[in-house]
Chain A
Amino acid sequence: MTALQTAYEERFKQMLQPLAQRLEAQLKDTFGKHKRIDRISVRPKSIERFVAKAAKQIDGEAKYNDPLNQIQDQIGARIVTFYKSDVEEIAAEVKKYFRHIESQLIVPESEKEFGYEGQHFILFIPRDIFDDAIREEESISFFELQIKTLFQHAWSEAEHDLGYKPSASLTNDQKRRLAFTAAQAWGADQIFDELHRQLDLPSSHAAIAQ
């Protein structure tokens, strides 16, 4: 076990787990009344994933020279919504209640591709969740928040499970199949959002139709 892993394990138990619990409570308090949120969850990055990320290299050189301070998603939060328009709505609310240093809508680079999609934020940890046991001055500063639809979430979970097998890399045909499922998830999101606008928000649908 490396010194980095030992240090992260200590942080995981002493700081990240309790902070994740408090943050989840705060996110639920802030967004819990929204009608079409399927789930809000917060968890610390697992020790295995942190160690793997810390070891990443770019052009043969370590990507992080101080991973404990540089890796910003040691706590990851996720809000899963029913429809795509809910993602936009929640994202606007997030900007009201949390200070961000990054806000990115992740979509495939080319319009001819289908793959991972989601709204990502790097946010300051709200000051309300610190106390004398976990002091703000000694804590990490940021957490990552992902906002996704149910279909985006389902696709990314399965893709992560299947697409990152250490035993073998994917064949072209397997990659094509994964892209096909992403296209189906994308299509389902489009149609559900249209139906939602027509059935739940008839006035906005009429405005769009005009």
Chain B
Amino acid sequence: MELNSIHSFLVHPGRNLEEPPDINGAVVNHAGRLFDMLKKVFDNAEAECPHDIAFSADESGQQQNECRNAILAYVKKTDMTHGRLLAKRLQSVTTNRSGLGLLFLMMGAEKGETKIVVSRFPADSGILAEEREKGLSVEFLERIFMKSATSYKAAVYTGKSHDHDFWKGKAGDKQINSAESYIASYWIREFLNSDFLTPGEAGTRRFASAVRDAMNRAGDTDVKDEIASLCRLLPGMKGKVVSAKNILSHFQISAKTQDRVKASFKPDRLFDERFRFMPDELTKFIAFKTVELDNGGLLTASTDAFDSVFLREVVDPAKALVKFSTEGTIIDQRLRKTKS
């Protein structure tokens, strides 16, 4: 798709400031090394933005979103005035921690479809070293905006109808050392007034369902064991922005088990989709009930199946004496050092 226009704005932090600094802007020429770099950002935006996001409804539940309105206004009338509205919005959520940034608004169109890429490059400092005829000159520079492709935040939206599309898009953060939770709050929630397209509960439910299916289908105990161990570790992921793929990689789950879990994702690209992990959803799908008796007996089965697996009879109500019985073939037995 052809890149038709680029506007750039220097955005100082302005959160909670009554009189935020002015925002200066410029039109970027369609030639030169800056254009070449931005063209790459524009062309690769979908691939570089892994987070599927959607604009949120307003507080009253209406189909209104301030950031989407600003983007639509810019799409309809692509000029400095409308671009500056987006820059002001970014300034109003930018703290000193985020610092000075250079906002680029890039827009293109093809076959009736419009694409807009919004990206923010953080300012950095550096040293300029210039070799001269009689020696070397060094100078400290501020307000350097890194060319590196690993240093910017971006969001991309495409649509045909300027009134009805552009509800969902993709966001990314290439800034080194930027935590996933940080992009979620600053870039996605506050600036873009959006959230992940798949809510945390839905994403966790999908993951839990896939893990449970993989466990139920697994013929070998290695896979079952590995999934059981994984489930014990997962509550530590509470609130983190994850995908099924990176959860399994994070806990170094074997390729065999990963493949079993991935096979339950339909369509399989959802294996890579980001969501906020909610452990409560996991326990709805994968929960084990364990009953311990005073004679040392320990009975464990999935919560759903426990009462059908173990038949419970009251032997002596006065002493609360009960008898459990079950019937099946032994598929595995082992010694463990601990109960868990």
Contact = CB atoms under 8 A, between A and B. Distances in A.
B218 interface: no
- Residue from the set A100, A127, A130 with the largest chain B CB neighbour count within 10 Å: A127
Contact of A99 (B54, B63, B165): B54
A99 B164 contact: no
Contact of B165 (A69, A96, A130): A69
Interface stretch (A10-18, A101-109, A187-195): A101-109
Contact of B199 (A96, A103, A130): A96
Contacts of B62: 102, 104
A131 B167 CA distance: 21
Contacts of B273: 127
| Main DSSP-derived SS at the B contact region | loop
A104 B199 contact: no
B199 A70 contact: no
Looking at B55, B56, B199, the one whose CB has the most chain A CB atoms below 10 A away is B199
A192 B161 CA distance: 46
Interface stretch (B18-26, B98-106, B201-209): B201-209
B84 to A, nearest CB: 26
Interface residues of B, number: 27
B256 interface: no
A101 B161 contact: no
A126 B61 contact: no
A48 interface: no
B105 to A, nearest CB: 23
Given A66-B161, A127-B270, A101 B167 contact: yes
A137 B186 CA distance: 28
A102 to B, nearest CB: 5
Contact of B164 (A69, A95, A102, A132): A69
Given A69-B161, A102-B57, A102-B61, A128 B206 contact: yes
A137 to B, nearest CB: 10
Contacts of B202: 96-98, 126
9 contacts: A70-B163, A98-B199, A99-B197, A100-B57, A101-B55, A102-B57, A103-B61, A124-B167, A128-B206
Q: Which 10 A-B pairs have the closest CB atoms?
A: A103-B61, A96-B201, A97-B202, A102-B63, A70-B164, A101-B63, A101-B57, A99-B54, A69-B161, A104-B61
